[in-house]
Amino acid sequence: GYRSRAAYKLKEIDEGLQLIRPGQLVVDLGAAPGAWSQYLRRKFAPKEAGTGGAAVGALNGTIIALDLLEFEPIEGVHFIQGDFREEVVLKQLEEAVGGRPVDVVVSDMAPNLSGVEITDAARVEHLIELAIDFAQNHLVKNGALVCKVFHSSGYSQLVELFKAHFRVVKAIKPKASRDRSSETFLVGIGLKNG
Ligand code: SAM
């Protein structure tokens, strides 16, 4: 099993778009409690026939995860605790990436919501802008960025922002989040000026 049902959202997105492949470097933003990292890890684990899919040997791929909260370690996942909005934390993340090209950035980050629509829209937008900046600086040419957004105020601006940066933009509402309000995932594939 997974630490959270959130894993099934990433699974659906990945199965629809084939984003995650062994050998990649993936950055997982807002990673706690760790279900998306677990999903990524399983995709990167070499499987041996006859073990029922049990993982054997070293991971084929790199996962760098980041969250404000603590994160129970997952073997092979490099975790950084801190606020993605802070310069020092971004530096730590960039040090972990170490100049390597990043294949996919996934972000399930959600800000603390105040209930005031305009404030919340601004908080969501700020995190997305930072994630896009990071993607712009680190993604491979055909890399992908997956971000959680909310289908409420500010949504269409976020779609436009994605379209300004990526050649292909998709909005996906996984069945796994059906009951969960207005949550939608924007996926940008291929930087326009990468
Ligand atoms: N994808 C995760 C999983 O599969 O276990 C679940 C993520 S949870 C819905 C959202 C996470 O975003 C929370 O753990 C929260 O601490 C984190 N978060 C929100 N704002 C953040 C920020 N500014 N920097 C880092 N993490 C943040």
Top mutation candidate among 109, 130, 180 for ligand 1, by most atoms within 8 Å of CB? 109
Q: What is the pLDDT of residue 37?
A: 98
Whether 103 maps to a domain, the answer reads yes
Quick one: pLDDT at residue 41? 96
Residue 1 lies in a domain: no
Q: What range does the domain containing 21 cover?
A: 6-191
| pLDDT score at 58 | 81
**161 within 8 A of 132, measured Cβ to Cβ:** yes
* pLDDT score of 93: 98
pLDDT in tens, 21-75: 999 999 999 999 999 999 999 999 977 656 565 555 689 999 999 999 999 999 9
Give strand pairing partners of 146: 106, 187
How many domains are there within the chain? 1
Query: What is the CB neighbour count within 10 angstroms for residue 125?
Result: 18
Within-domain flag for 146? yes
Establish if 96 belongs to a structural domain: yes
How much of the chain, in percent, has pLDDT values that exceed 90?
Answer: 80
CB of 112 closer than 8 Å to CB of 85: no
Dist CA 66 CA 192 (whole Å): 26
Q: Quick check: is 59 in a domain?
A: yes
The CATH number that applies at residue 127 is 3.40.50.150
In the set 9, 11, 43, 148, the catalytic residue is: 148
pLDDT of residue 176: 85
The predicted model gives 62-91 an average pLDDT of 98
pLDDT tens readout for residues 95-130: 999 999 999 999 999 998 898 988 989 999 999 999
Best substitution site from 68, 104, 113, 134 to test ligand 1's pocket, by max atoms within 8 Å of Cβ?
A: 68
Does the annotation count 148 as an active-site position? yes
Pocket of ligand 1 (CB under 6 A): 3-4, 6-7, 30-36, 66-69, 83-85, 108-111
How many A from CA of 176 to the centre of ligand 1?
Answer: 17
- Is residue 184 within 8 Å of 152, Cβ to Cβ? no
- Kindly provide the ipTM of the predicted complex, given to two decimals: 0.99
> What local confidence, expressed as pLDDT, does residue 130 receive?
98
**43 located within any domain:** yes
